[in-house]
Every structure is written in structure tokens, then in C-alpha cells.
Structure 1
Amino acid sequence: MLVTDGTRARRSGLRELWDSSIGKKIAVAVSGAVLVGYVVLHMLGNLNSLYGPGGGDARVDEYAHWLRTFGEPLLPHGFVLWAVRVLLLVAVIVHITGVVQLRARSRAARGGHASRRIGRSFSSATTMVTGTLLLAFIVFHILQFTTLTIDVTPLSEGAVYANLYNAFQKWYFVLLYVLAVGSLGFHLRHGVWSAVQTLGLDSPERNQPLRRTAGALAVVIVVGFLLVPILFWTNALGEPATVTAALTGAIR
């Protein structure tokens, strides 16, 4: 009975925290931190493409294979990758729900009138727009390179380098990714700074360096992500080997 009461108390405490505005802000900040961490790791993984086709054994293909076999034989094939995906899905749901509910509360407190805060940065003023664009882009990105559903260009399972090369020979895909990554940069700049404030890490003497750090992180991530489509489009990264060779290390 004590265990049951304790469990109920913890659930009640978490519910009360979530129902409060500060609790939602903390949840948004923490879930955002999880997503930022993933974005950094994803960018670093993508940069494996810069090693080139590798004679049909591209390093980025090997990296993708490693992601799916990580933890074997102790863990099932793809277990860690799916665990990360579930964590990211939860983080995205918490983040979006918290932001939408906080915005609704703020609007209700103003009697339904839109906010007109003076001195807001561009990244702050457009955070809802960039967030919406990023959500749409994430869905598109998954359909294109994860499920291979959007197959305007030749796509093959496991042939990551060839898939990227073929996609980014099309100027409209390059432009789409440039716009999406630009939105990511603005969203990150504001989001990281907001998270710092929410978690109480800001102070008058640290605010300027923290703002610069948030801006620098956004720039690094934008440049890191844009290198891949631009270098493929300009043919600075070589053409992949034949499809057969590219699939040598394919993930089955």
C-alpha cells in the first residue's frame, strides 16, 4: 500500500509540475537540450560524407551500418538506434506540446491579443515559424532518407553516400535543405538562450558570453549541415561507385 501511495504521490507531483508554467518551461528546456544533443551528433555523423565515395566503400555507409549494429550481440540488431528514435519522438512531443500550451497561456493572459515585445531578436520573433518549418522538414527528411518513400532520385537501402549524391544533384533539394538548415540555425540560437534562462544558468556577467555561445553553436551547426549538400551539388565530393559496389556494405 505504501508503494502504491508513493507511486501515486510521484505521479501527482509530476502532473502538478507539468501543469505549472515553470514546469512546462523546464520540460521544454530539457527536451530541447536532448534534441540539440542529437542535432550535434547527427551533424557529426553526416560529416563522414566528406571522406568521399571510398571506392564503393564509403565511410558514411560504414557509419550507418555501425549505428544499426551497435551493441550486438548483447543487444538485438538496431536496438540502440530504435531506442534513440523513441527518445527523440518523446522529446519532440514534449517540446511541441509544452511550447504550444505555454503560448496559449500567454495569449490567454493578454486577453487574446498578440504580443508586441520591443527589442526582440529575429530568431526570437520567428521561433514559432521556424519550429513549424522544422517539423515539416523532419517529416520530409525521414520520408526521403530513412524510409526511402520520396524517391524522386535513385535511392537504395544502405547506400547512404549514393543516396545523398543523387539527391543533391537536384538544385531544388539543395535549396530546400539550405532553407531548412537556416531555420534550424535561427531556432537553435533562440532556443539555447531561452533554455539557459529557464534553467537559471544566466546572470548579468555571463549573459553576453552565453548569447555569443548560443550564436556560435547555431553557426557551427548550420555550416556543418550545409557542407554536405553544397559539396555534393558542386561535385566537390566525387560520384559514387556503381550501385552494386555502393551496396557492398549495405545494411540488411
Structure 2
Amino acid sequence: MVTVEKRPAPRVARPPRRTSVQLKYVMAVTGAVMFLYLVAHMLGNLKIFLGADALDTYAAWLREIGEPALPSETTLWLIRVVLGVSLVAHIVSATILARRARRARPVRYAHRKPVQGSYAARTMRWGGVIIALFVVYHLLDLTTGTLNPHGVHGEVYANVVADFAPQRWYVTLAYTLAVVAVGFHVRHGLWSALQTFGRSSAASQNTLKGVALGIAVVLVAGFLSVPFAVLTGLVA
């Protein structure tokens, strides 16, 4: 009797998944794009201290970049598209990495010991939700003017003053919470990005964390200076 040896069926090749390292690179690159935008946006906001003409002229210049070679607002829309793609890629990468981390440790510890991770690292999730909701509100408020009490296209100075008026203190409070959440994100993101690109060593960890914290504080202070200047009457 002849015995026929059974061979295992060939495995069907599956498309390679994005590795965690690749996803971290995506988060680092997209985070860098959004960080550079935040810096430029903050510097533009500070023009409010130079008066209405300076801020409104700057806002008009943003819409006119590239004219007459390009139609009005073309460059502005290109920036918005790049930011939108970066935001989506950042969120998707973060979600995938978070799910993989949960699958790697499916059983929760009954008594979890505190880890040495920073407060920002442990609050990135809810901070991201706050930022996402704020971005939607901010666009409807100061971009489209839909939720702005003044809401006149091109009158940026007047729109900002109306938005953060003393009687609308709750708007300033919500803005402050969102900007602080951005600060935590920036602080942790800068430090993580430096690690991802291999720019850190054990000896330089404290220095890198200090630099990241300092940059985040400057960014938060720059953004919050505008609503608090309006709230206190320094800008009116």
C-alpha cells in the first residue's frame, strides 16, 4: 500500500501591514507639519497688537498669495489641504498604534503601578478629542464666521474682538482649555519626534524634555495673549 504524504496548503500571501515604526514616522512628519503651521499662525495672530489695519492687511495678504499667477486663495487652500491630510494621517496612525498597544496587553492589571511617562503622554487621547472639537468650532467661528457675533468676512480684527469680548468669557475659557491641550500635545510630540528620528540619547533626555516644554509654553502663551488682551480691554 502506497502512503501519500499530505503537504500543508500553501499560505496565501497577505499585503504587508504598516509597521509600528512606519506609523511613528508618519506621526512625526505630520506632527511637524502641524507644528510649523501653529508657529506661523501664532505669529500672525500677534499682529492684532499692531492694530486693525495690520491684522486685516495680513489676512488679506494670505488670500492673495500667488496672484495674479494663481487664482485668489489658491495658496491658502493648498495649505488647508496639506493640513487636513496631515491631521487625518496623524489621527489614523495614532489610533492604529493605540489599538496595537491594547492588543499587546489584553489583560489589565488589577493594581497598576504608576509609570514614569509624562502627564502629557497619559492624556494625549482626551487632549486629542478636545483639540478636534475645538478645530471644528474655530473654523465655524473665525474662518466661516457662522458662529461669530460679528462675522464679517475680511474684518478679522473686529471678529476677534467680538469673539473674546468680556461678556463672552466662556468662549475665552473654552479657547484656553483647547490651547493648553495643544501645549501638552506639542510638548510630548516634540520629545517623541526627536526620539523617533534618533536625535536623543539617555544622557540628553532631560534636556530634550526641557526644550520641548519651553517651546510648548511659548506657543501657549502666544496664543492665549490674544483672547486675554481682548478680555482685559488691552485690545478693543
Q: How many angstroms apart in 2 are the aligned matches of 1:32 and 1:42? A: 15
User: Are the aligned partners of 1:168 and 1:174 in contact in 2 as well (CA < 8 Å)?
Assistant: yes
TM-score by length of 1: 0.83
**Other-structure match for 2:132:** 135
Q: How many angstroms apart in 2 are the aligned matches of 1:100 and 1:116? A: 24
Q: How many angstroms apart in 1 are the aligned matches of 2:49 and 2:221? A: 13
* 1:22 partnered with 2:21: yes
**Other-structure match for 1:181:** 179
In the TM superposition, residue 117 of structure 1 has moved relative to its aligned partner by 5.5
Structure 2 gap ranges (5+): 1-14
Structure 1 gap ranges (5+): 1-14, 239-252
In the TM superposition, residue 204 of structure 1 has moved relative to its aligned partner by 2.4
**Other-structure match for 2:5:** none
* 1:78 partnered with 2:77: no
Q: How many angstroms apart in 2 are the aligned matches of 1:36 and 1:63? A: 20
Query: Displaced runs of 4+ in structure 1, greater than 6 A?
Result: none
* Secondary structure class of the residue paired with 1:138: helix
Q: How many angstroms apart in 2 are the aligned matches of 1:74 and 1:123? A: 44
* 1:91 partnered with 2:86: yes
**Other-structure match for 1:246:** none
**Other-structure match for 2:4:** none
In the TM superposition, residue 187 of structure 1 has moved relative to its aligned partner by 1.2
Higher relative contact order (CA 8 A, sep 6+): 1
Identity %: 40
Q: How many angstroms apart in 2 are the aligned matches of 1:183 and 1:146? A: 21
User: Are the aligned partners of 1:107 and 1:113 in contact in 2 as well (CA < 8 Å)?
Assistant: no
* 1:34 partnered with 2:33: yes
In the TM superposition, residue 149 of structure 1 has moved relative to its aligned partner by 1.6
**Other-structure match for 2:213:** 215
Distance 1:25 1:236, change over 3 A: same
1:45-90: per-residue Cα shift (whole Å, max 9, x none)?
101111123xxxx211100100000111111111110000000000
Q: How many angstroms apart in 1 are the aligned matches of 2:44 and 2:203? A: 35
In the TM superposition, residue 124 of structure 1 has moved relative to its aligned partner by 1.1
Determine which structure has more spread, i.e. the larger CA radius of gyration. 2
In the TM superposition, residue 116 of structure 1 has moved relative to its aligned partner by 6.1
In the TM superposition, residue 148 of structure 1 has moved relative to its aligned partner by 1.3
**Other-structure match for 2:170:** 172
Amino acid at match of 1:32: G
Q: How many angstroms apart in 2 are the aligned matches of 1:43 and 1:154? A: 22
Over the residues paired in the alignment, what is the CA RMSD in angstroms?
Answer: 1.6
Q: 2:158 aligns with which of 144, 155, 162?
A: 162
1:13-36: per-residue Cα shift (whole Å, max 9, x none)?
xx85x6111100110111011110
Distance 1:204 1:167, change over 3 A: same
* 1:46 partnered with 2:45: yes
**Other-structure match for 2:228:** 230
